[in-house]
Amino acid sequence: MKKILLVLESEALSNNVLFEVNDVNNLNEPWKYLKRKLKELDYDLKTADNNKIDDCDWIIFVDTRCLGIFEKKVIRRVINYLKKIFKKNIQKERDVYQECIRKNLQNKMVLLLQEGEAVIPYNYSKEYHERFDYVLTWNDDLVDNKKYFKIYPLVANKKPLRNNTSFSQKKLLVNISTKKSSPFPKELYSARKNAILFFEKHCPNDFDLYGGRWDWPTNRWEKRFPILIKKYKSYRGFTNDKISTLSQYKFSLCYENFDGANGYITEKIFDCFVAGTVPIYWGANNISKYIDKNCYIDRKKFKSNTELYIFLKKITEKEYNEFMKNIDNFLNSSNYKKFLQENFVNIIIKTLKITK
């Protein structure tokens, strides 16, 4: 059986844990599906770990951090981490990329870019793209089907959840996200935070906040004096079942990590569709190329959170049901299939010219 290695930044998913973990949100299902389909073609997909690279047909690097490239803030964390390693006399982490270079395996290397510039700035530095013959990316402005190939977000197949919660029983608005920040000029973390602060102040009975890190310290003073940590009155903690939680609300803030990029459409909007919640979308400029405008509320059309709130409160049950009808039509369309795991696998197989 031929071999393909997957190089990941996350140690938690190494040793093939990526293909074994089961969670209620099914986040790793596209990777597990890829492994199954490749096996049918006589290829064994493994996480790199301690596997030899000499006999590999392909080595897929997921994001540029796998190349040992870190932005400055991360470098400080890495240095501190390495200090701990040396103190404990633990063996240094393997550098798969440098191994490939030393063994002249550049023609077997593929770069798969999942994260945007707000999360990993170096992902879109041409300097690093030049190291690869093939780059899989969401960025429509780069795709040429020669070096750059279109890859869609990893969206697992999920059966739409349509519970018996009526329009009147659903709460108005929710935000489910992790608290983050970024120096990237077009980041939307700040806009998301501003919306949260607005809605919990002006309409606390209509809004809830879920996700990670919203009760974490953000600087050394807050770490030393926890009483200084910003308290979000709308915070309801972490939810283990995102779809089920979303289904209890009419609308959800659906802000991407940054604004304006063509093709950067993540799982956020699809989770809303599956849950039966209307997304308030802010992100890709060309979102309507992929998803009909009548399936979501375009946040860019509103000058302020106040204007958005007034609009949401005026939506009738009839108008809301029309949104849901449009969403269900989209979930049954060929456009939606582009984002599902079957297409993800087909793109990988086609790009790498894999045959049995």
Q: What is the pLDDT of residue 282?
A: 99
Nearest Cα to Cα of residue 258 among 195, 185, 178? 185
- The answer to whether 59 touches 108, Cβ cutoff 8 Å, is yes
Helix (H, G, I), strand (E, B) or coil at 36: helix
Set out the domains of the chain in order of their start, with CATH numbers.
Answer: 2-152+341-351 (3.40.50), 171-337 (3.40.50.11660)
Q: What is the pLDDT of residues 179-224, one digit of tens each?
A: 999 999 999 999 999 999 999 999 999 999 999 999 988 888 888 8
The beta-carbon contacts of 10-17 under 8 Å, at least 24 apart in sequence, are 13/47, 14/47, 14/48, 14/49, 15/47, 15/49, 16/46, 16/47, 16/49, 17/47
**DSSP bridge partners of 135:** 111, 148
So what's the pLDDT on residue 88? 53
Lookup result for tokens 């240094």: 92
pLDDT of residue 208: 98
Go through the chain and tell me how many residues it has: 356
Rounded Cα distance between 322 and 72, Å, is 47
Give the angle subtended at the CA of 44 by the CAs of 39 and 50, to the nearest 5°.
160
Instruction: For the sheet with 249-255, list strands across it.
Output: 207-210, 171-176, 249-255, 278-282, 297-298
- Residue 87 has a pLDDT of 54
Structure-token pair, residue 346? 């087909």
Rounded-to-integer distance, Cα 22 and Cα 11, Å: 17
Residue 231 DSSP class: P
Amino acid present at 45: L
pLDDT tens per residue, range 257-314: 999 999 999 999 999 999 999 999 999 999 999 999 999 999 999 999 999 999 999 9
Measured CA to CA, the distance from residue 49 to residue 51 in angstroms comes to 6
Element (H, E) at 251: strand 249-255
Quote the radius of gyration of the chain (alpha carbons, Å). Answer: 22
Joined together, the tokens standing for residue 261 give 């990029």
Neighbouring CB atoms inside 10 A of 262's CB total 16
Q: Is 3 left (phi over 0), alpha (psi -120 to 50) or beta?
A: beta
Total-model pTM:
0.90
Give the Cα separation of 234 and 207 in Å (integer).
Answer: 7
Conformation bin of residue 155: beta by default, left when phi > 0, alpha when psi is -120 to 50: beta
Return d(Cα 266, Cα 116) in angstroms, integer: 10
Rounded Cα gap, residues 345 and 30, in angstroms: 8
Per-residue pLDDT of the chain (356 residues; tens, 9 = 90+): 999 999 998 888 888 889 987 766 777 899 999 999 999 999 999 999 888 999 999 999 999 988 877 655 555 556 556 655 665 544 456 799 999 999 999 999 999 999 999 999 999 999 999 999 999 999 999 999 999 999 998 887 888 988 888 999 999 999 999 999 999 999 999 999 999 999 999 999 999 999 999 998 888 888 888 888 889 999 999 999 999 999 999 999 999 999 999 999 999 999 999 999 999 999 999 999 999 999 999 999 999 999 999 999 999 999 999 999 999 999 999 999 999 999 999 999 999 999 87
Distance CA 59, CA 107 (A): 10
